[in-house]
Amino acid sequence: MKTSRRLFLTGTAGLTLGLPLLESLNGQARAAEGDPFLFFMRQGNGVTQADQDEAEGFWPSEEGELSASILESDSERVLSELSPYGRSITAIKGLSYAFEGNGCGHSGGGNQCLTANQVSDDPSGAASLAMGESVDNYVARAFSENGGAPLTLYTGPRSGYLEEVLSYRGALDIRPAEDDPWTAYQRMLGVDDGVDLEQLDLRRQSVNDVLSEQLDALMASPQLSSADVARLALHRESIRDFERLSCRVTEEQAQAMQDGVGLSTLDDRRLLVARQHLDLMALAAACGFVRSGTLQIGDGNDGTEYTIDGQRFPSFHWVSHRIYSDGDDGEAIVGAYEMHKAIDRLYGQTFLHLLDRLNEFGILDQGISVWCNDLGAGVSHSYNNVPFILAGSASGALQAGQFVDYGGVTHNKLMNTLINAVGVRTESGDLVQDFGHSSLEGGVLDGLLS
């Protein structure tokens, strides 16, 4: 007779395997231990900065020091949305993506964003991929948390145009992202509450031993191609013990995520789901579960129809081009610039949500959170002045609270800066200066590291 164990996995449709898990809550995350983290929240389609004939609407009016009052008094600019954390904000202008896209500006921008690497010739166009590892993966590998893997999250349509573009294990090797917060959370928990963990781990070990032997034997088959072996090798590496998230979301958060299962791809839930993902990111950092992570909002050229003040805007990508079209064919959208600016503000508020969560856990300044973009500005869709908005100082490693314009350097230097700021060094203990493609001038950005 077996009734003691509870099932923890359910399908939203199909066979019911057990009751959904209702969280028994044991409160907040454990106290922060000082480990720095590096998070990225990606917006698409550029921002409303000065571009062609359009006015500046994004950056602060003055370079130099930032504070709550300085940002607040600059209320016409989008970054004023971040004023509550003014002292922790670092706004970095004047960075460019070094490489051409390949047939599609968005895949080129998104693929370079965290890799500082070239975009593939094959595949090309909308299917193109990055030719190198992304910084979130690089940082995660330097630490042991989550098996050395980053948290990779997404909110956007499935079978959209260019789904994930951000996180790479290496050249052409993209990390698929999880789009459903509840599933991401369940995967972090790993098991149902109340399971005998010691017994479960032993059992899993026995099974994993058999699976590993099977994969080893298969990989040794001389007939296999290198691509066959590479896929099996990734599978083989994926067989490991998984850390379990030691803390829990609140009952309301759990319920909200559960209620949203199956709805995570809908436009009108895009930023709601983004906030749930960001809640998980903050929780994961607070519990020491991961060291790095990404959230991509919207597919490659985010076509979300955002609703602001009851008005449903056209596709964000169309708004960014200011025409009713994905870029090659369409009529002008009246008021598109103001729409884009309102969307930028929404993203600012969404980033603020992450900062609020981190602040509640007391770890905002313990790591660095970055609001990044695949393009600089909407209309020109250019790779210049790509906005990187940082929050947090990694416990003082970064000189936060400033707005700097670097006037046109490649953004790999920021990646180097961030890698060093969160405590990663070369094997010989020196600063990491060479992240990204080897043709790029290395080094870190001046005046950012303490």
Partner 1 sequence: MLLLFLACQGCEETAAVPELEDTPRVVRLTHTQWENSVQDLLSLEQQTGLSEHFLGDPLSEGFENEANRLQVSPELFQDYQRAAEALALLIVSDLDRYALVVPQDPRVAGVDFEQRLEAEDDAVSRSNGDYQSDGWLLWSDGSFSADLSVPEDGDYRMEAALSGSDCGDGVYASYQFQVDGEIIGFGETLPTLTTFSATSELSAGTHELQVVFDNDCYENGADRNLYMDWMQLSGVGGALGEGQAGPDQALAWIEEIAALAYRRPITEAQAMALLDLFEQGPDQIGSGDDFADGVEMVLVALLQSPHFLYRIELSELPDADGRIPLDGWEIASKLSYALWNTMPDAALFAAAEADELGTVEQVRSQAWRMLQDERSLAVVQDFHGQLMDTDNYANIYKDPERFPAYDPVLNETMRLEVEAFVEEVVFGEQAGVYSLYTAPYTFVNQDLAPIYGLSAVGSELQRVALDPDERGGLLLQSGFLASHADSRTPSPIHRGVFVDLEVLCLDLPDPPPNVTGLPAQEPGTTNRERVEQHTGEGTCGGTCHNEMINPAGFAFEGYDALGQARDLDNGEPVDASGSMTLSEGAVSWTTGREFVQLLAEHPDTHRCYAGHWLSYVQGRQLGELDDPLLDDLGAQSLEGLPITGLLVELVASDSFRMRAHP
Q: Which stretch binds partner 1 (CB under 8 A): 236-244, 288-296, 357-365, 393-401?
A: 236-244
Burial of 439 (0-12, 13-18, 19+ CB in 10 A): exposed
The reply to whether 428 sits near partner 1 by the rule CB under 8 A is: no
Q: Which stretch binds partner 1 (CB under 8 A): 218-226, 282-290, 339-347, 428-436?
A: 218-226
Q: Which stretch binds partner 1 (CB under 8 A): 82-90, 168-176, 250-258, 431-439?
A: 168-176
Among 164, 279, 344, 365, interactor with partner 1 by CB under 8 A: 164
Tokens of 274: 């983004």
Tokens of 178: 């999880």
The reply to whether 155 sits near partner 1 by the rule CB under 8 A is: no
Q: Which is nearer to partner 1, 83 or 410 (CB)?
A: 410
CB of 343 to partner 1, least distance (A): 17
Burial of 227 (0-12, 13-18, 19+ CB in 10 A): exposed
Contact 435, 419 (CB under 8 A): yes
Q: Write out the E strands in 267-422.
A: 292-297, 307-308, 311-312, 368-373, 388-391, 402-410
Tell which positions 335-394 bind partner 1, by CB under 8 A: 380-382
The reply to whether 328 sits near partner 1 by the rule CB under 8 A is: yes
Among 234, 335, 338, 426, interactor with partner 1 by CB under 8 A: 234
Residue 166: which of 255, 70, 252, 294 has the closest Cα? 294
The reply to whether 329 sits near partner 1 by the rule CB under 8 A is: yes
Tell which positions 171-210 bind partner 1, by CB under 8 A: 174-176, 178-180, 183, 186-187, 190, 199, 202-204, 206-207, 210
CB of 58 to partner 1, least distance (A): 20
Tokens of 343: 């969307």
Q: Which is nearer to partner 1, 375 or 398 (CB)?
A: 375
Q: Which is nearer to partner 1, 13 or 430 (CB)?
A: 13
Tell which positions 67-106 bind partner 1, by CB under 8 A: 100-105
CB of 207 to partner 1, least distance (A): 5
Q: Which is nearer to partner 1, 335 or 362 (CB)?
A: 335
d(CA 364, CA 178): 24
d(CA 270, CA 279): 14
d(CA 342, CA 313): 10
SS3 call for 232: helix
